[in-house]
Amino acid sequence: MGDYFETDYVKDYDGALVRRILTYLKPQAPLVALVFIALAVTTASELAVPLLQQRLIDRHIIARYIALNLAAADTAAADIVASGAAGAAGLTEKTRLELEALQKKGGVLLFPRLFVCEDSRLHISGAAEKELREKGVLDTEKWYVFEGMPPDKSISHLFISGESVPPNAERNAANNTRRTMSAIRISDLNTLTGGQRALVKASGVHALTRTVLILLAALFVTFIGAFVQTYFSGLAGQRIMKSIRLQLYQKTLKQSSAFLSRHPVGRIVSRLTGDVETINDFFTSVLTAFLKDFAIMTGVLITLFALSPKLALVAVLCMPPVLAVTIISRVKARAAFRDQRAATSALNSYLSEHLSGIRIVRLFRTEEKSRREFNKLNGDLLDASLREIYIFGVFRPSVEFIATFTTAAVIAAGSVFVLRLSLSIGVLVAFINLIQMFFMPVMDIAEKYTMLQSALAGAERVFMLLDTDESISDTCPSLPQPRQPAPVIEFRNVQFMYETGEPVLKGLSFSVNEGETVAITGPSGAGKTTITNLISRLWDIQQGGILLNGVNVRDYPLDGLRRAALPVLQDVFLFSMTVAENISLGLPLTQQEIEDAARAVYAHDFISALPDGYNTRLSEGAANISQGQRQLISFARAVAHNPPVVILDEATSSIDTETETLIQLGLKRVLHGRTSIVIAHRLSTIRDAGRILVISGGSLVEEGTHAELIAKGGLYATLSKLQFEE
């Protein structure tokens, strides 16, 4: 487990991990549904743009129609018009079926000719087109078809006019719309005057305008869909991040001190911030991007084959090199990104350590050594970053080259097909746009895959923290009843070690009666502070028992235990909020109650002298007040919470003599009638204690009053002599 907290790496794809990440989408189901709908709409509208461009070119800008003489075909004319007659010329079954399919696609019928747009030729096989030409069904000339009558009777002989009926009119009689249509050969159209041509093409301009408006509408739909997709995927990602951060924070609050001591605060903070952010990237930048890229690429391939299978085959044959380049770049990019992350982590760790200890660096004149070390780490990061840039510098131009080569191949092959009249100009333009659309997501694959790996690595560390359970057990629903008569605090043969094989307390036993003040002293490392941690169950003992009012502390709910026995620790910690908030710390206290607590420990005067009094906001680490003032506020906090048991752990170690005298006076009033333990290294603070316990090597070695212990001439007397000589 420790490796996940101490290393920073890029993880391979892990399906199980991805599935676990995706479970967080379930509460966001409505947002996910909107994202998928927007994704489908955006993909469809983006693919529609090249098709609309093709229609715009073929049917309105170039507007070339081919004419089919149905009278020359032996198709069922009744499927075309009620009074139609079958032609005498015989067609093969395959050609007849293709011709009937072409009729059903629509067109302009001015019997016996059926006019269809030139791009419809794509649906006729080469053999069928040859047969239709030989049988006289397919006209060799191109036509221009428009709505209305010829503009001038003097040129009406050049036109074919009449009411047009869709070929499937009998099947769709309810939607049958008869329109007056006219057709003229392109060769004859070019003989008209400019004004005559303008009148003929007026209806085409209206149709062109309609198509352009549809194209603009598709672009607008793409914009709206992209906005909805981006916004709601981001919203879902932020909500998921909020949920995961809350889970991690709650989990961390419940972890034991043993867990927190093994893992640096910086790395745990990194789990709650940076690693959670990578999961957000998974949802907003990786998952939706992969889905959209896959949809676009699949849609492009389908559209290519639907427009022209022959030309689509040319494009597909040019794509295998892209797959090879992508696979190679993905592997190389992963290694480069891993090196870059490792180098960044090493540099950040060095900076954090040496900037925190900048005074030591200066005092011991190691600036030059630090500069050389930093320069090396900085150079390693530069090299790793350059390798990553090199990979992408090769990958992107390679894909762009293949995309350009594929486009060139499509243009070359498409031009041949256009010259052979088997492909329209609009379809060729659509192909070029679709090829570019296909390669755009390909260029992002390596980058997105690296982001996926980074997200998986972050998720692995996040889930490892979530799955780690080293919390202090808390299964008691309510406070147990005291077993009277019994000492308020009792240690029974307590054995405890922070690390296996390194005992701190070795069979420690003592008791503190109700209302009694007991002092504990001893040399450094004797286990004094450990006693404080064990009473409040910041750590759990390995053997023995600790009783509070005759009940094992394990049988108390943690919340009730820590309300009953409140330690004032040696290392004072105040939050970056007001003085009043630091004293009340969550309790609904009135201003008067807060001030009374401060007066009890003689802190009211200095607090009132602060710029905003009790509303003065403390800076980070309470750096805007002195160490002694910080300890006075911590005493006031303890008094405000009014615990029945108070434990003072070296609480006056950083206070000057004058302030200590004031605190001693206040503490006598505060501790009166309460059970208390005073842990002190300075013997002057505990001389008046009713009983003094001397701890050494994790065991109780002496016990008695100050005078009794001095008279014994043991460890306490030695410590007293050394301190007073100092």
Cβ atoms 50, 378 nearer than 8 A: no
Mean pLDDT lowest among 92-96, 412-416, 547-551: 92-96
Query: Which residue ranges does the chain devote to CATH 3.40.50.300?
Result: 489-725
Residue 37 confidence class, pLDDT cut points 50, 70, 90? very high
Tell me the backbone φ, ψ of residue 571, rounded to 5 degrees: -90, 100
Cβ atoms 241, 458 nearer than 8 A: no
The CA angle 572-574-580, to the nearest 5 degrees, is 125
Res 448: pLDDT? 78
Task: Judge whether residue 443 has pLDDT over 80.
Answer: no
Alpha-carbon gap, residue 201 to 658, rounded angstroms: 104
Q: Which residues contact 593 (CB under 8 A, 6 or more apart)?
A: 640
Q: Domain 2-15+259-467 is classified in which CATH homologous superfamily?
A: ABC transporter type 1, transmembrane domain (1.20.1560.10)
Task: Judge whether residue 657 has pLDDT over 90.
Answer: no
Q: Which residues contact 460 (CB under 8 A, 6 or more apart)?
A: 4, 11, 14, 17
Res 479: pLDDT? 64
Mean pLDDT lowest among 130-144, 350-364, 516-530, 636-650: 350-364
- DSSP for 333-377, please give it: HHHHHHHHHHHHHHHHHHHHHHHHTHHHHHHTT-HHHHHHHHHHH
Residue 493 confidence class, pLDDT cut points 50, 70, 90? very high
Chain centroid offset of residue 122 CA: 47
Cα 639 to Cα 11, 445, 514, 679, distances in angstroms = 51, 62, 18, 18
Round the average pLDDT of the chain to a whole number and report it: 81
Report DSSP state, residue 27: G
Pairing of strands 159-164, 179-185: antiparallel
Task: Judge whether residue 87 has pLDDT over 50.
Answer: no
Residue 1 confidence class, pLDDT cut points 50, 70, 90? very low
Alpha-carbon gap, residue 419 to 139, rounded angstroms: 17
Res 169: pLDDT? 43
Cβ atoms 271, 453 nearer than 8 A: no
- 390 or 659: which leads in pLDDT: 390
Res 494: pLDDT? 92
Fold of 489-725: Rossmann fold (3.40.50)
Helices (H) and strands (E) in the chain, counts: 27, 16
Q: Which residues contact 515 (CB under 8 A, 6 or more apart)?
A: 673, 674, 675
For residue range 279-300, list pLDDT tens digits in order: 888 888 888 888 888 889 899 9
- DSSP for 200-256, please give it: HTHHHHHHHHHHHHHHHHHHHHHHHHHHHHHHHHHHHHHHHHHHHHHHHHHHHHHB-
Residue 4 confidence class, pLDDT cut points 50, 70, 90? very low
> What single letter denotes the amino acid at residue 280?
N
β-partners of residue 702 are 694
Token reading at 67: 């004419």
> How confident is the model over 491-495, as a mean pLDDT?
92
For residue range 45-68, list pLDDT tens digits in order: 999 999 888 888 887 787 788 888
Alpha-carbon gap, residue 719 to 682, rounded angstroms: 9
Res 106: pLDDT? 67
For residue range 587-620, list pLDDT tens digits in order: 888 999 899 888 888 788 888 988 989 999 988 7
For residue range 296-322, list pLDDT tens digits in order: 989 999 998 888 888 889 988 888 888
Single out the residue of 205, 67, 200, 191 nearest to residue 137, CA to CA: 67
Q: Which residues contact 62 (CB under 8 A, 6 or more apart)?
A: 118, 424, 425, 426
For residue range 238-272, list pLDDT tens digits in order: 999 899 889 888 888 888 777 777 776 767 777 78
Sign of CA dihedral 483, 484, 488, 492: negative
Res 79: pLDDT? 43
For residue range 667-725, list pLDDT tens digits in order: 666 666 678 888 887 777 777 788 999 998 888 999 998 888 888 888 888 888 877 65
Single out the residue of 673, 671, 713, 667 nearest to residue 694, CA to CA: 713
Alpha-carbon gap, residue 128 to 94, rounded angstroms: 8
- 373 or 14: which leads in pLDDT: 373
Residue 362 confidence class, pLDDT cut points 50, 70, 90? confident
Res 358: pLDDT? 81
Task: Judge whether residue 80 has pLDDT over 80.
Answer: no
What is the chain's alpha carbon radius of gyration, rounded to the nearest angstrom? 43
Task: For the chain, give the percent of residues with pLDDT over 90.
Answer: 10
Query: Which residue ranges does the chain devote to CATH 1.20.1560.10?
Result: 2-15+259-467
Alpha-carbon gap, residue 724 to 695, rounded angstroms: 20
Token reading at 190: 């070019």
Sign of CA dihedral 418, 421, 422, 423: positive
Single out the residue of 58, 99, 48, 42 nearest to residue 76, CA to CA: 99
Task: Judge whether residue 34 has pLDDT over 70.
Answer: yes
Res 267: pLDDT? 72
Residue 199 confidence class, pLDDT cut points 50, 70, 90? confident
